[in-house]
A and B are shown apart, each in its own frame.
Chain A
Amino acid sequence: SSELTQDPAVSVALGQTVRIVCQGDSLRTNYASWYQQRPGQAPVLVVYHENNRPPGIPDRFSGSRSGDTASLTITGPQAEDEADYYCFSRDISHDHHWVFGGGTKLTVL
């Protein structure tokens, strides 16, 4: 399948740990990148090549992969982490195509 599947919504208490998952066949052989999008803003890359952070991204964000599932973990989320999160990877059903997951809305309680 070319799809990347994400849970539509996840909630976490302030300071706890939350894992946002992305499932798809392409993740068995390709890495996901993860994007944070706050309301009204452009997406921001938070993790790439499975578990690398761009400069300026806090180390509470980390990535991992197991089988057909990639995960974005936020350890001790802050209020400002409330946002939509999207995974992104190759679409293995089409040569040279890419695909986003449907997005997960994270609520920090």
Chain B
Amino acid sequence: EVQVAESGGGLVQPGGSLRLSCAASGFTFNIYAMTWVRQAPGKGLEWVSTISASGVNAYYADSAKGRFTVSRDNSKNTLYLQMSGLRVDDSAVYHCAGGVVTTNSYGMDVWGQGTTVTVSS
């Protein structure tokens, strides 16, 4: 069964840090570009970061650049998101998702249920 499961969310104070993990199984993890997508309460989906299948290339939304770091361990089929300098507006459900990227297309056919990050004092 194809599955990804996020963990590591929780309550953190503004300025704090968290590390999210996403464990994958049931598909060839090392050919999938993996992405973090977040959704604030009552809001739409927001692209946060994508890492290439090899892990060599990583890309970030402006809202995440300089504060978040995405990485992956293909030997462990696991994706990570290290978040620092957290702000109240980073509060959201964070989903990991994955799929095959082409030059002009990216369909993410694997999604996790998400882990909740709450930034509050």
Residues of A within 8 A of B (CB): 29-31, 33, 35, 37, 41-45, 48-50, 52, 54, 84, 86, 88-91, 94, 96-103
| CB neighbours of A88 from chain B (8 A) | 45, 47, 106, 108
| CB neighbours of B46 from chain A (8 A) | 100
A43-B45 in contact (CB<8A): yes
* Minimal Cβ-Cβ distance residue in B for A32: B105
CB < 8 Å neighbour of A35 from B45, B112, B114 = B45
Q: Given A43-B97, A100-B47, A103-B44, are A33 and B107 also a contact pair (CB < 8 Å)?
A: yes
The size bracket of the interface on B is: 20 to 34
B111-A49 in contact (CB<8A): no
| CB neighbours of A33 from chain B (8 A) | 105-108
CB distance from B48 to the nearest CB of A (A): 10
Q: How far is the CA of A33 from the CA of B45 in the complex (A)?
A: 13
Q: Mark B75-118, 1 if CB is under 8 A from A, else 0.
A: 00000000000000000000101010010111111011110000
